[in-house]
Amino acid sequence: MCFGAKFSFENLGGLFTYLTLPTFIFFFSFFFFPFRYNGFAQDISPAQLKKMIEERKEGKTNFILIDVRTKEEFESGYIPGTDLNISHDEIGEKIEKLNIKKDDTIVLYCRSGRRSEIAKQELIKRGYKKVINAGGIKQWVESGFELKK
């Protein structure tokens, strides 16, 4: 029976001489998988974004809200207060042509949060320091908030 099989980890310098299969699975489940990339990561909730937009209208905060979906998706509806529509695969080149400073706060969203995370990583790679992934427009609508057309 394989369940009780023992594995030898002699190359670990004796740290774990023998490790049973259940322990092996436990180790990788709790210590390896949480550090894997999550393409649907989201830094703020739709309610937090709504509050930020309202506070910006009142002059309490300042940020640039960018929809990183395609032009066609943007034209079907977008979050009120959106400043720009730049596709996630073009954001690196296009944002550097705009007058956006490296320490300006940039908030990104797409349909589900995946493309806005890709765009976030691209902007961070280019030196932008305050980049927030607001997730997807789907979560915005599911939270009961309106879209603008």
Place of tokens 């550097």: 96
pTM, two decimals, is 0.73
Name the nearest CA neighbour of 119 among 75, 84, 71, 69: 69
pLDDT in tens, the chain (149 residues): 555 555 555 555 555 555 565 655 555 555 544 444 444 567 999 999 999 999 999 999 999 999 999 999 999 999 999 999 999 999 999 999 998 999 999 999 999 999 999 999 999 999 999 999 999 999 999 999 999 99
Residue 61: helix, strand or coil by DSSP? coil
Confirm whether 2 is a catalytic residue: no
74, two tokens: 């943007």
Query: Which CATH superfamily, name and number, covers 46-142?
Result: Rhodanese-like domain (3.40.250.10)
Name the nearest CA neighbour of 134 among 104, 99, 97, 105: 105
- Which is catalytic among the residues 110, 123, 132, 134? 110
